[in-house]
Structure 1
Amino acid sequence: MLLAALALASLGVSIALAVSIGEMRIPLPTTVKAILNGLGLGTYTVQRIEQGIVWEYRLSRALVAACCGAGLAICGAVLQALLRNVLAEPYVLGISAGASTGAVVVMLLGIGGGVVGISLGAFLGAGLAFAMILLLAAGVRGGPSQVILAGVAGSQLFNALTAYIVSTSANAEQARSVMFWLLGSLGGVRWPDVWLVAVVVGFGLLVCLYLARTLDAFAFGEDAAASLGVSVGRVRLLLFAVTALITATIVSVVGAVGFVGLVVPHMARFLVGPGHLRLLLASVLIGANFMVLADIVSRVIVPGQVLPIGVVTALVGAPAFALILYRTRRAT
């Protein structure tokens, strides 16, 4: 309970800082007043431009960052349990790359349209990537480690497809904006994106919490789960679909952000242990904090310039990936 309270308080502070910090710095008291005005909880005197920046732009951006961090952390925790591989997460497995390809197809080729259309395209791309990766891994029969290798191969394939589509179907300005978005960008998010991501991540969290004990059983292997009465095939398909849906929705809104699903579950596991009921809740809170703080860093690390948030998460995640891989090798 103490850790949860600290994480919630930290998330509140992080969001407040994210809303205050930017090209135009807004004092924290003014930020709080603007948020209360937007919620209809007050009629405080705030300049119109500050009210608009806080409510229409920065708060929605911070909330989307928190939801995306939570969603990616959920996906990482679930995939690591299902595949029994500490390196499993949507970005490493190529699911994010497949979702990116599906989203780019909708954006540049005009198939569908709107946020929902892009999300649907990303979901289909993520599902295709997932299916291809599992087929590749099953074909070589090398165990969980082969899933990661199949994911790397699938990621390269879908990244190449995305690059081909962008280079042949977009003008220079479109190509520049799409490639920036693919690295992870929160610049264009607004309130409709908040509701979309929050609903999908919330739904996914409820499903995973309901199946938390089942995930505990999967940690000991599929045979152990089946001996406890778990319908292995059905549960795996459901959880794979949920992780693909969460990943696709996040990719359609902010692009492909890597390593959050890898690093955060390990941090949560260190703090609360391997039980998935606590692990999932801890991952949500830590992931939300991590992503909001990464967004702040992306806006202040280079004066006058906003870096793609995927660059910041990779700077943290890549060394963590190497450390986890090294520890795994030593353990074996």
Structure 2
Amino acid sequence: MNTAVIIDKHTVAIETAAQPTLKDDEVLIKVLYAGLCGSDVHLFHDEHPFRKPPMIPGHELAGEIAAVGPAVKSHRVGDRVVVNHAIPCGQCRYCKAGQINICPDKIVAGSARMMGFFAEYVNVPERTLYKIEDGISMQQAAIAEPLSIGYHIMRRLSHLRQDEPIAIIGTGTIGLVALIAAKSLGYTEVYCLDTIDYNLDIAVKLGASGAFNPLRDAAAAEVLKATGGFGASGTIVTAMARGILTDAFALSSLQATIVMLPMTAQLMEANFYRLVSGEQALIGCRGIVEQDFADAVKLINSGYDLSPLITHVMPLADTQRAFELMVDRTEPVIKILIAPHE
């Protein structure tokens, strides 16, 4: 079978590999679509903390079951499925507390312990599978994993009332799925900030109450104006840029919660006066718990239209070009799907 392998920094090769051999509790999946994620780009740059070349990238998958192991009980050949690729150890203090997203020993796809999904076929344990209903687009189903992160972000803001305003700084895939999750959960007032107008237009189509470009607008002032001078009760930071935390504090209300998504080892400067004087809270957000993925699949199976997020569908042979497009942004791009059988 064919696979896409990041063999060195900024270099992808299409290589052949043996089709995976199944363990008793595993299924073989024909990969229909695999999403290209920001963490895959970190691998492409050889900047990821634990994913290092040579490596098959990819952890967002929608496909069909091609074979099942003898111990598989609830799935059969032909089932349309998505995969929750992160497999917690189940034994550590965090797993036992239900905090499987921060399990220090979890296995994830696209790492040394589990093959990535940029391949024609992959093998995964049955317990990672969620079924996709007939008639649902498998391209849109491939958004399940990032969409589940949107629900986990909102879990971190679950103390907010649904009529309290939310701001999202950065409307790439994660910012937009946070918007989708917020709207699906009944939050009525969500403001989006980004320096790319195309992304802001998509945010408005998905229900944003307002969209502001900091390169053109006094974005923090606009959010304050729109919220009667109070600011956002919850602010979601999905992007990294100079001064972004200072802006997040400024557009957030007193005792607001600011949720930080970018996993960066770089030092970030900020003016923390507003955070302290306003009794704001700055918290991190990482991964998902099982309910987040279940919520994402439920929304997908309801027929919710996620197509505005999908800007490109490319064959496996074009994986190098897909990464370059994500890096160089020579045209509008949000989510690129790799289609190994097209």
TM-score norm. by structure 1 comes to 0.28
Q: Which of the pair is proportionally richer in helix?
A: 1
Larger RCO, structures 1/2 (Cα 8 Å, 6+ apart): 1
TM-score normalised to the size of structure 2? 0.28
Higher strand proportion: 2
